[in-house]
């Protein structure tokens, strides 16, 4: 008796299935026969299902493969594919510590043709973010090496930072640094936050013919904080004077002496200078009070930004020797931005800015001195033969007062 037949004609054992009655020998034998037939039928159905499932997958693969023939992506020019990758790629390429690091662009996995486009376009591999730590491995250095090879011969935008981890030290971080150093001639922009020894290994005596932008951040990553008074984020003897193309410099909480900044950076080339000052550990460390002395060495500067915390403001009895005796002319300075620094007169009274176009002040309301200082600012404008066209004042939710002023030439 087949399973289909038992499905059509009710089983003679129905009364047994729906009760607890003890079957006779004949009924038990009949039940065993029915079970064997059902198991055989189930095996046949499973075989048919497996075959149908295989056919279904084959059809799906067939349809998917042939859809690519008429896909609009196939008709895109390689130039358009590259532009799509530029917009869809991550901002920075982070070479992994894993040895299988190949392609950071997920979109490059659309098809082999797109992956080939990604791997053969050096400009897609030029924005590199490297984290160096005691977890750095030889594999990370090798992945970085492949990434740098893919970007050749294009210029690089490079960010390098160190993450201190309290584990066993190894030599791998230095190997990563040496790998980066090999490409120094292609660095266009360098943003670096490293310990003194790693920074020295990266840039000391390295050729930097194309470096245009440099961001140097604090290298003090340990307790206690603040660092000792002798600490500077630039190792002794390390200099960027040999970077002929350097135009933009950003120093963020670097604890550098004013003399160090003057001696180690090509200030005369700069068009943009951005400085953030944290705690002041010593009188020789740069603070807003040293601004005019520093700007005297930057004749081509167009933009100057100074950010600081209130603790950086020197006391009232700060030695007058720190000030410039005569106002410093800055003929090319167009933009002056000061953030939270609340002693305006040492800056406003010691500059001449005949080309000034924009002034932005962001001051905290936590100090009574943080207010608009009309006297020093008006004297600056009078000395520079400039006048306020407009000046908007606003306040943020964080207790910061913002003054945005548009400056123009003084009418004759």
Please write the tens of the pLDDT for every residue from 190-229. 999 998 888 999 998 899 999 999 999 987 766 566 677 7
- Could you tell me if 268 and 401 lie in one domain? yes
Q: What is the pLDDT of residue 117?
A: 87
- Could you tell me if 83 and 62 lie in one domain? no
Q: Which of 128, 161, 177 is the last residue of a domain?
A: 177
What is the band of 299 on the pLDDT scale with cuts at 50, 70, 90?
A: very high
Q: Which of 70, 93, 113 is the last residue of a domain?
A: 70
Vertex 153, ends 202 and 187: CA angle to 5°? Answer: 30
Structural domain including 18 reads 3-70
- Could you tell me if 225 and 337 lie in one domain? yes
- Could you tell me if 139 and 276 lie in one domain? no
- Could you tell me if 247 and 161 lie in one domain? no
- Could you tell me if 55 and 82 lie in one domain? no
In a domain, 207, yes or no: no
In a domain, 200, yes or no: no
What pTM did the predictor assign?
A: 0.77
- Could you tell me if 152 and 292 lie in one domain? no
In a domain, 20, yes or no: yes
- Could you tell me if 130 and 27 lie in one domain? no
- Could you tell me if 64 and 90 lie in one domain? no
- Could you tell me if 357 and 230 lie in one domain? yes
- Could you tell me if 80 and 57 lie in one domain? no
- How far apart are the C-alpha atoms of 15 and 17, rounded to whole Å? 6
- For residue 74, the Cα-to-chain-centroid distance in whole angstroms is 33
C-alpha distances out from residue 43 to 36, 300, 309, Å: 11, 87, 79
Q: Count up the domains in the chain and report the number.
A: 3
What is the band of 153 on the pLDDT scale with cuts at 50, 70, 90?
A: very high
In a domain, 299, yes or no: yes
- Could you tell me if 239 and 283 lie in one domain? yes
Q: What is the pLDDT of residue 86?
A: 78
In a domain, 192, yes or no: no
């Amino acid at each position: 008796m087949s399973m289909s037949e038992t499905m059509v004609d009710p089983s003679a054992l129905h009364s047994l299935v729906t009760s607890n009655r003890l079957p006779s020998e004949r009924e038990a034998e009949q039940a065993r026969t029915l079970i064997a037939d059902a198991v055989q039928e189930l095996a046949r159905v499973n075989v048919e299902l497996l075959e149908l499932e295989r056919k279904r997958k084959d059809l799906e693969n067939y349809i998917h493969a042939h859809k690519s023939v008429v896909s609009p992506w196939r008709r895109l020019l390689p130039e358009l594919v590259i532009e799509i990758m530029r917009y869809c790629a991550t901002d920075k390429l982070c070479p992994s510590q894993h040895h299988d690091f190949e392609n950071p662009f997920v979109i490059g996995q659309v098809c082999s043709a797109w992956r080939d486009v990604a791997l053969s376009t050096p400009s897609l591999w030029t924005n590199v973010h490297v984290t160096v730590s005691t977890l750095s491995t030889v594999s990370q250095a090798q992945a970085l090496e492949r990434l740098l090879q893919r970007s050749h011969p294009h210029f690089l935008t490079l960010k390098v930072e160190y993450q201190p981890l309290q584990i066993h030290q190894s030599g791998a971080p230095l190997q990563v640094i040496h790998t980066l150093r090999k490409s120094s001639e292609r660095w266009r922009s360098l943003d670096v936050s490293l310990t003194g020894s790693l920074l020295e290994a990266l840039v000391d005596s390295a050729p930097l013919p194309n470096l245009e932008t440099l961001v140097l951040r604090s290298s003090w990553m340990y307790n206690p904080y603040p660092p000792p008074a002798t600490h500077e984020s630039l190792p002794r003897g390390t200099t960027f004077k040999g970077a002929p193309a350097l135009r933009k410099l950003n120093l963020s909480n670097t604890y550098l002496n004013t003399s160090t900044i003057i001696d180690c950076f090509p200030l005369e080339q700069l068009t943009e200078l951005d400085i953030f000052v944290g705690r002041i550990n010593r009188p020789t460390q740069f603070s807003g009070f040293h601004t005019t002395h520093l700007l005297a060495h930057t004749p081509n500067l167009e933009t100057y930004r100074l950010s600081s915390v209130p603790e950086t403001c020197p006391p009232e009895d700060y030695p007058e020797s720190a000030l410039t005796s005569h106002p410093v002319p800055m003929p090319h300075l167009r933009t002056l931005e000061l953030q939270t620094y609340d002693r305006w007169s040492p800056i406003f009274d010691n500059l001449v800015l005949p080309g000034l176009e924009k002034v932005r002040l962001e001051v905290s309301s936590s100090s009574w001195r943080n207010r608009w200082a009309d006297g020093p600012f008006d004297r600056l404008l009078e000395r520079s033969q400039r006048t306020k066209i407009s000046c908007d004042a606003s306040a943020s939710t964080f207790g910061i007062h913002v003054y945005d002023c548009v400056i123009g030439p003084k009418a004759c």
